[in-house]
Amino acid sequence: MITSVFEVYEGRAAAERQPELLYASHFALHSPPFNITPDTRFFFSHESLQVALNTLMIAMRTGEGFTKVVGEVGTGKTLLCRQFLSLLEGDHVTAYVPNPYLEPMTLLFAIADEFGIAYTRDSTQHQLLKSLNEFLLKSYKRQHCAAVICLDEAHAIPIETLEALRLLSNLETERHKLVQIVLFGQPELDERLNNPSVRQLKQRISFTCRLGKLDKLGVAAYVKHRMTVAGYAGPPVFSVDALRLLHRGSAGTPRLVNILGHKAMLSAYGEGTRRVLAKHVQAAIEDTESAINSTTQRRLKYVSMALGALLASATAVLLST
């Protein structure tokens, strides 16, 4: 019988007193390989992520307009953002706003805080933009490149706040932009930018990147990469069948791969084995609401087939009348 994830936590976590290292020594790891907190040490440059990173770096060199990165939930937008900022460190002045669901002035205050700009709470938008302009001019003269503002969860930005961002992007010299803005968001960001009231901002988006999911080989390479970074140097821990099921249950979404991989390793640890099998991944899938269960897949397939047959039958009746 498979030891459940909850039994492992209840029975052994308390004894070890460090749940995050629950199975690390068991699998000869120096850190957990499937932590869902974005950690640039584990950055895995699969095709769409690497293309996006390359595009971002090119956009910084051209110094024009906005750049937009769109991806579904769990596809690695925040990790990409942090990796991008780490590559800019030392060469660019940067600001990172993790939650831009703010009113226009509040967002400008947040950006000023990131840049370390002094202001008073009763500053007007004009005064704040003037302070930002002065700071960015000095920054450009010192760094010889535009400052960079990255906004995560950009699909949540209110429409009126997007207009404030457009005004901020107007800060420039006769030849160069003083600031470049990168928007990271879910597909809903595209819908927001289709609003006629922000069409001027939409026209200023010079580059767009779209993050995809991992295929079967991608999931296998992703798991191997994270295990290696976590310190593992032995034979594969996950069996071929376990990897296949991991791809199916996660649909190739990196965050779900992390969640299921972590739980599957806990199940294997609970049994005292150093090999993660399909049964361990299946236990993880059944314990995760957002995972795609094979039983659910079969039901959806049968429903789809039934609807298809019904539609074909209805069409035949209509054609015969």
DSSP state string for 129-146: HHHHHHHHHHHHHHHSS-
Q: What is the mean pLDDT of the chain?
A: 87
Question: 261 and 138 share a domain?
Answer: no
The packing angle between helices 294-320 and 240-250, to 10°, is 60
Three-class secondary structure of residue 124 per DSSP: coil
Cα(96)–Cα(113) distance, rounded to whole angstroms?
A: 10
Backbone angles phi and psi of 12, in degrees to 5: -120, -20
Q: Of the ranges 81-95, 163-177, 201-215, 235-249, which one carries the lowest mean pLDDT score?
A: 163-177
Q: Number of structural domains, the chain?
A: 2
The radius of gyration computed from the CA coordinates of the chain, to the nearest angstrom, equals 24
Structural domain span for residue 81 = 47-211
Cα(149)–Cα(144) distance, rounded to whole angstroms?
A: 16
Q: What is the pTM of this model?
A: 0.84
Element (H, E) at 183: strand 179-185
Q: What pLDDT band is residue 294 in, cutting at 50, 70 and 90?
A: low
Q: Is 319 part of any domain? A: no
Residue 136, amino acid: L
What does the pLDDT look like over 159-209, one tens digit per residue?
A: 999 998 998 998 888 788 899 999 999 999 999 999 999 999 999 999 999
Question: 118 and 142 share a domain?
Answer: yes
Question: 144 and 29 share a domain?
Answer: no
Pairing of strands 66-71, 205-211: parallel
Share of the chain above pLDDT 70, in %: 85
Pairing of strands 66-71, 94-97: unpaired
Q: Which residues pair with 211 in a beta bridge?
A: 71
Question: 121 and 255 share a domain?
Answer: no
Cα(101)–Cα(96) distance, rounded to whole angstroms?
A: 13
Asked whether the beta carbons of 162 and 132 are under 8 A apart, the reply is no
